[in-house]
Chains A and B, each alone.
Chain A
Amino acid sequence: MKKAFPWHIVVFLAPAVIIYSMFSALPLLDTLRLGFYTTNDAGVHRFVGLSNYHIILFDSDWSTAFWNAMWNNLKFFGIHMLLQNPIGLLLATLFSLKGLRWARTYRTMIFLPTLLSVVIIGFIWQLILSPLWGVGEKLMGFVGMANFFAPWLGQQSTALITLALISVWQFIGIPMMLIYAALLAVPEEVLEAAHVEGAGAWRIFWQIKLPLILPTLGLVTILTFVANFNAFDLIYSVKGALAGPNYSADLLGTFFYRTFFGYQAQIGSPTMGAAVATLMFLVILLGVAVYFYVVQRKLTRYEL
C-alpha cells in the first residue's frame, strides 16, 4: 500500500524554510551575484565579471581603504583572541570552582554588559574616556597615573585598540558562559579520581579540564572570528561611518556601509557594496572552513 503524501511534514517545515530562504539564504546568494554587476545612472544592471573586485583589490583609490580595513579587522580579532578569550577562560574557571560562594552573582554581574546595546556601551565609554568630563582621568588619578591619561578614542594611534578593548569588555560574557557550561560538564568522577591520585588544582586544570573543554575553545574562537569580521555597530556609534581619525578604526563592516550607502562626496553603490560583502563572506567562509577542517579534525583525533 502506498502511503499518503506526508503533508504534515511540509506544513511543519514550510514557514521556517520560506522566511529563512527569502530573507537570509537567497539574499546572500543574490548579493554574491550582484557583485559581478554594475549599475548605470538609469539603475540598469550590467554584467561586468570580476571588474568590481579588480577595482577594490587593485585600484589604489579603493584598495588602500580595503586593505586598511582588512588589516584593522585582523588586529581587532587579534586583540579579542589575546584578551577576551583567555580572560573569559580565567573567569569561568574561577567561578566554576566547587562550593565557591556568590558564584551566581559574579556570573550575572560580569555578563551584564553583554546584554546591552553597543550604542549604549559606546557612549558610556566615550563619556568615561572624554577629557572633558574627566571621570577616566580622575580614576587614574586615584592610583597616581593621571599623567598617563590621553584621549585614546580620538588619537589615530590608539583609537582602534581602545575600541577593541571596549568590545572585549562588553562581550567577554559570551566566551565566559560557554566555557563555564563546558566546565560544568566535566565529569565529577574524573576530577575526584585525579584528586585522589594527588593532583593539585593547577595540574587538574592543565591536564584534565583544559583538554576536555578544547572543543568549546575552538567554538569560541570561530564565534569570535565571525563576530569580529562582521563588527559594525560599535565603530559606527562611536566614530560614525568614517571610522576616524583618518580611517584608523575602519573595519570591513564600516567600509561595507560606506561603499553601499556612500559618504560625503562619494555616491553609494549597491553593486560595489555587494562586492565588498562578497569579500567579507569569503573571509568568514575561510575562517569557518579552517575551523571545520583543521580544528575539528584535530579534535576528533584527540578524542581517539
Chain B
Amino acid sequence: MTSSNLTSSRSFSNIGRIWVHIVLCAYAIVALFPIALILINSVKSRDAIFDNPLAFPTLDTFSLIGFEKVLTNTNFILYFGNSLIVTLGSLVLIVLFGAMAGWAISEYKFRGSRLMALYLALGIMIPIRLGTVSILQLVVSLNLINTRTALILVYTAQGLPLAVMILSEFIRQIPKELKEAARCDGVGEFKIFFRVILPLIRPAIATVAVFTMIPAWNDLWFPLILAPGDDTKTVTLGVQQFIGQYATDWNSVLAALSMAVIPILILYMLFSRQLIRGLTSGAVK
C-alpha cells in the first residue's frame, strides 16, 4: 500500500487527484440518478410522487401500495418465474455445452478443428436477430411457439459462440501435465473433462455467466416474437406492456420497474469480481 501510494503520488499531483474525483463523482451521479429516482419514488404515495419527485420518502409519504397492487393484481410473479427459468436454463446449457465444445476444440487435434472453431466464432459478430424470420418458422414447425423452451434454445445458440471462445482460451492455459497424468492413470476423456477441467475453469464460467445472463434476462425482441403469450411472458416483456396498460397508475409502474431492476443488481453484486477478473485475465481479446 505505501509503496503504491509513493509511486502514484509521483505520477500525479494532489490537485490532479481532486479533479479526477470530481469528474468521476459527477459522472457517477449522472449514471445513478435516474435509477435512484425510480427506486425512491416507487416507495412513495401517489401525491408525493407528483408533488416532489426529487424528495426522499418520509414517514408521511412512505407507501408500498404500488408493490402491493403489482403483486396481487397482476401476473408479475409468473413473469418473474419465466424470466428465471429462461435465463438459468440457457445459462446452464451455454456453460455446459460451451465448455464441452471449447475443450474439444482446444484439446484434440482433428481434421477441420480450426474450421470448426471459426464456424462457432462467426456468431460472435453476427447478431442472431437477423435470422428471426426463419427462427420463427422453425419454432412454429417444431410446435414450440409460446414456450420457454424456444427462448432457452435461441439464447443458448446466441450465447454459445462467445462462451466457446472464452472457455477454450481458458482451457488452453491449463498445464498439460494435469491432463497427461490423468491419462497415464487410465482415466477416460469424459472423466477428465468433468472431474479435472470443469472445476478448474470456474472463474471463466463466472465471466461467461455474466455475459450470457444479462442479455437473456433483458431481451425484448425474442419474447415479443416467440413467446408473447400470457403464460410465457418474461419480465422484460411484461414490464414493457405493463407500462402501456397501467400508464396512469404511477405507483404500480414504478414498483414494477423497481422489481425488474433488483434481481439484476443482486446478480451483479454476486458476479462483479469475476467479471473484472475475467476481463483482465484476457478472457476477451
Contacts and interface: CB of A to CB of B under 8 A. Distances in A.
Question: Which among B20, B136, B260 has the highest number of chain A CB atoms within 10 Å?
Answer: B20
Main secondary structure of the interface of A (DSSP, over half): helix
A24 B158 contact: yes
B135 to A, nearest CB: 5
A22 interface: yes
B38 A24 contact: no
Given A94-B23, A119-B240, A30 B134 contact: yes
Contact of B220 (A98, A180, A233): A233
Contacts of A260: 132-133
Contacts of B219: 233
A195 B12 CA distance: 11
A113 B214 CA distance: 12
Contacts, number: 262
A181 B284 contact: yes
B218 interface: yes
Contacts of B73: none
A83 interface: no
Contacts of A190: none
Interface string B26-43: 011011101101100000
Interface residues of B, number: 95
Contact of B279 (A181, A273, A284): A181
Nearest to B153: A23
B19 to A, nearest CB: 9
Interface stretch (B58-66, B119-127, B178-186): B119-127
Contacts of B221: 232-233
B138 A100 contact: no
A253 B7 CA distance: 50
Main secondary structure of the interface of B (DSSP, over half): helix
Interface in B80-113: 93, 96-98, 100-101, 103-105, 108, 110
A273 B221 CA distance: 15
Interface string A81-102: 0000001001100110111111
B261 interface: yes
Contact of A124 (B35, B97, B136, B218): B35
Contacts of B21: 101-102
B119 A25 contact: yes
B278 to A, nearest CB: 9
Contacts of A232: 129, 220-221
B8 A16 contact: no
A75 interface: no
A277 B268 contact: no
A124 B34 contact: yes
A127 B127 CA distance: 31
Contacts of B5: 99
B243 A15 contact: no
Interface string B240-271: 10010000000001000100110011011000
A118 B131 CA distance: 21
A6 B237 CA distance: 45
A101 B37 CA distance: 27
Interface in A108-137: 108-113, 115-121, 123-125, 127-128, 133-135
Interface of B: 4-5, 7-12, 16-17, 20-21, 23-25, 27-28, 30-32, 34-35, 37-38, 50, 53-54, 93, 96-98, 100-101, 103-105, 108, 110, 116, 119-120, 122-123, 125-138, 153-154, 156-158, 160-161, 164, 188-190, 193, 214, 217-221, 225, 236, 239-240, 243, 253, 257, 260-261, 264-265, 267-268, 272, 275-276, 279-280, 282, 284
30 contacts: A11-B100, A11-B190, A13-B105, A19-B160, A22-B157, A23-B154, A25-B119, A27-B132, A28-B131, A106-B24, A107-B276, A112-B31, A115-B268, A116-B261, A119-B240, A123-B253, A124-B35, A133-B53, A181-B276, A185-B280, A195-B11, A201-B16, A226-B127, A230-B127, A230-B130, A237-B220, A260-B133, A274-B133, A278-B130, A280-B130
Given A16-B101, A27-B138, A284-B127, 20 more contacts: A15-B97, A20-B123, A22-B153, A24-B123, A25-B122, A27-B135, A31-B131, A100-B20, A106-B28, A108-B272, A112-B32, A115-B265, A117-B218, A127-B38, A169-B31, A181-B279, A192-B7, A226-B127, A277-B130, A281-B126
